[in-house]
């Protein structure tokens, strides 16, 4: 830059006339020790834009735990107020990419707390003819986005590469489609502060049908990229809010005008019963445009006698499970009394195939439920009644095996019991025989001692009991 270039002072709020000075330097160094907060509003001629290049940056670094430039920072907005998009906010010795405004004004702020003093910064501005891109910026304030036949898609962005979004931010987008059309939002990148231990979103996105008081289509935080959201009226409302602590990287999304509305399925506690049709399709009812929140539906399918129910999943695109793998929204099948695992998230074709099955009973219950936040395209499956005998080889062979094991075990136990009883009887007989012999010898000894001669040996045990001597 030429030595004679304009240098803006750091002194309160400074208006920089970029018409008179199409290029210049802005620095914290001129009054660094005295002034801790200053701002500059740079205004270029109408139809021109402002290129910003940070030549040097040596500010107090980000403090551990704050994640933001807290003690000392340089911030730039793409407009003349902090409600505009923030182009960057940096500190330390971070490298800052060259930025170009999308209008003819920018706002810069420098702030430092009293106890810090680093080397400061120098930034060069230059008036240029071409605007900057709109793919690297933080959101700000309310943005109304009307559409017309030539403008059927666009972006909404709260993202600056390498930076965290602003604390205490509130950004709103109101995107209006032509009458009879709808707006679909697709999230290309999503990284907000994770929910707290109670599942409460500290920073969040809410997508609503219509205006700011419309039906909530989606509420998201954390790092799970939400599935697309489509309005059921011509206008969609997107709100981003961040609190004062812990920031993250933000979001990138694109919107488009579509011909079909979002999820309008009436899935509120009803149970459908299928018994006679031999084939059918079961879905969440939104035709792939997104089911409603707080939904619950069930379908009870009972096959005629001798038939089983074949379930074939064709699509499962529900909200992703929580970090502990618990499904937030799910589809679950119960075969008789046996519950299959819940399916949720975006299920791959391979998983859909492996989850499909033929029932082992004649009754299958299908349940679909969604929680209060974040709808997704939905699910679909088909059912058909199929002959049970020819389609359950694995089940049949298992049953036969179980029956055989049970019967063999039964006969084995009976055999063991018989052997045991026989052995006990034989042992008891031997014991009686032994007692008999002992009693006989004892009786003969007592008789000899009393009468001087031995009595005859009794013929059996009855003789001992009835004819034996009385106690002496």
Binding stretches for Ca ion (CB under 5 A): 193, 202-203, 242-243, 246, 319, 328-329, 370-371, 374
321 vs 440, which CB is nearer to Ca ion? 321
Closer CB to Ca ion, 163 or 370, in the complex: 370
Instruction: State the nearest-atom distance from the C-beta of 157 to Ca ion, in Å.
Output: 18
User: How far is Cα 226 from Cα 240, in angstroms, rounded to an integer?
Assistant: 14
| C-beta closer to Ca ion: residue 67 or 392 | 67
Nearer to Ca ion, 78 or 203 (CB): 203
Name the residue nearer to Ca ion (CB basis): 343 or 364.
343
Beta strands in 221-362 (DSSP E): 229-230, 235-241, 250-258, 268-274, 279-283, 296-302, 307-317, 330-335, 338-339, 357-358
Least distance to Ca ion, CB of residue 315, Å: 17
- Taking the complex as a whole, the smallest distance from the CB of residue 67 to Ca ion amounts, in Å, to 9
Based on CB atoms, which residue is closest to Ca ion, 360 or 374?
A: 374
Q: Are 308 and 358 in contact (CB under 8 A)?
A: yes
Q: Shortest Cβ distance from residue 248 to Ca ion (Å)?
A: 7
Give kind and range of the element (H or E) at residue 395: helix 393-451
Output 48 or 328, the one with its CB closest to Ca ion.
328
CA 46 vs CA 76, 103, 131, 137: distances in Å: 20, 8, 12, 22
Residue 78 or 284: the one with the smaller Cβ distance to Ca ion is: 284
What is the smallest separation between the CB atom of 342 and Ca ion, expressed in angstroms?
Answer: 13
Q: Which is nearer to Ca ion, 192 or 333 (CB)?
A: 192
Q: Which two tokens stand for residue 346?
A: 């975006």
Instruction: State the minimum distance, in angstroms, from the CB of residue 400 to Ca ion.
Output: 44
Q: Cα dist. 289→6, 237, 332 in Å?
A: 56, 17, 20
Residue 353 CB, nearest approach to Ca ion (Å): 25
Shortest distance, CB of residue 247 to Ca ion, whole angstroms?
A: 5
**Of 168, 118, 157, nearest to 134 (Cα)?**
157
* CB of 296 vs Ca ion, minimal distance in Å: 12
- Contact (Cβ atoms closer than 8 angstroms) between residue 228 and residue 258: no
Residue 50 near residue 19, CB atoms below 8 Å: no
Query: Could you say which DSSP state residue 335 is in?
Result: E
Q: How many CB atoms lie within 10 A of CB 111?
A: 18
Say if residues 82 and 115 touch (Cβ distance below 8 Å).
no
Give the CA dihedral 300, 301, 305, 308, nearest 10 degrees: -130
CB 214 within 8 A of CB 142: no
Which of 317, 309, 393, 391 minimizes the C-alpha distance to 349? 317
CA distance between the termini of the chain: 141
Minimum separation from the CB atom of position 291 to Ca ion (A): 9
Min dist. Cβ of residue 66 to Ca ion (A): 11
Which CB atom, from 84 or from 374, has the smaller least distance to Ca ion?
374
Cβ closer to Ca ion: 241 or 384?
241
- C-alpha distances (whole Å) from 390 to each of 355, 386, 393, 396 are 20, 9, 7, 10
State which residue, 196 or 451, has the beta carbon closest to Ca ion.
196
Beta bridge partners of 193: none
Rounded to an integer, what distance in angstroms lies between the CA atom of residue 382 and that of residue 88?
Answer: 52
Q: Are 100 and 35 in contact (CB under 8 A)?
A: no
For residue 335, give the nearest of 311, 312, 315 by alpha carbon.
311
Cβ contact 262:230 at 8 Å: yes
- DSSP states of 133-192: PSSSB---EEEEEE-BTTB-EEEEEEE-TT-PPPTT-EEEEEEEPPTT-EEEEEEEEEE-
Least Å distance, CB 192 to Ca ion, is 8
């Amino acid at each position: 830059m030429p030595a004679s270039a304009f240098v803006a002072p750091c002194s309160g709020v400074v208006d920089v006339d970029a018409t008179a000075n199409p290029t210049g330097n802005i620095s914290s160094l001129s009054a660094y020790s005295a002034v801790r907060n200053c701002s500059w509003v740079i205004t270029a001629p109408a139809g021109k834009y402002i290129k910003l290049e940070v030549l040097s940056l040596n500010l107090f670094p980000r403090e551990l735990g704050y994640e933001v430039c807290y003690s000392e920072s340089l911030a730039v907005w793409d407009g003349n107020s902090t409600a505009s998009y923030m182009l960057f906010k940096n500190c330390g010795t971070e490298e800052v990419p060259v930025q170009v405004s999308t209008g003819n004004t920018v706002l810069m702020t420098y702030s430092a707390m009293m106890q810090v003093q680093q080397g400061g910064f120098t930034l060069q501005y230059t008036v240029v003819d071409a605007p900057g891109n709109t793919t690297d910026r933080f959101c700000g304030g309310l943005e109304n986005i009307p559409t017309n036949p030539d403008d059927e898609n666009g972006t909404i962005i709260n993202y600056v590469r390498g930076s965290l979004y602003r604390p205490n931010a509130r950004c709103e987008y109101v995107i209006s489609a032509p009458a009879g059309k709808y707006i679909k939002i697709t999230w290309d990148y999503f990284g907000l502060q994770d929910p707290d231990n109670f599942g409460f979103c500290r920073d969040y996105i809410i997508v609503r049908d219509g205006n700011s008081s419309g039906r909530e289509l989606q509420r998201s935080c954390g790092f799970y990229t939400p599935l697309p959201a489509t309005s059921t009226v011509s206008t969609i409302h997107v709100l981003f809010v961040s609190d004062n602590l812990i920031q993250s990287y933000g979001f990138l999304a694109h919107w488009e005008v579509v011909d079909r509305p979002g999820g309008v399925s009436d899935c509120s506690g009803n149970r459908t019963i299928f018994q006679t049709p031999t084939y059918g399709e079961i879905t969440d009812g939104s035709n792939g445009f997104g089911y409603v929140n707080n939904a619950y539906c069930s379908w009870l399918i009972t096959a005629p006698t001798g038939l089983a129910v074949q379930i074939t999943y064709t699509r499962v695109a529900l909200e992703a499970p929580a970090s502990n793998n618990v499904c937030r929204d799910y589809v679950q099948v119960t075969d008789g009394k046996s519950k299959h695992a819940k399916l949720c998230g975006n299920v791959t074709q391979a998983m859909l195939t492996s989850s499909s099955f033929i029932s082992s009973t004649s009754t299958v219950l299908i349940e679909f439920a969604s929680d209060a936040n974040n709808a997704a395209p939905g699910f679909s499956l088909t059912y058909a009644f199929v002959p049970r005998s020819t389609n359950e080889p694995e089940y049949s062979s298992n049953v036969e095996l179980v029956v055989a094991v049970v019967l063999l075990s039964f006969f084995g136990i009976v055999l063991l019991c018989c052997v045991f009883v026989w052995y006990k009887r034989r042992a008891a007989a031997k014991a009686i025989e032994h007692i008999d012999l002992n009693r006989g010898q004892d009786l003969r000894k007592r008789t000899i001692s009393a009468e001087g001669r031995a009595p005859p040996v009794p013929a059996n045990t009855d003789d001992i009991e009835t004819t034996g001597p009385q106690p002496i």
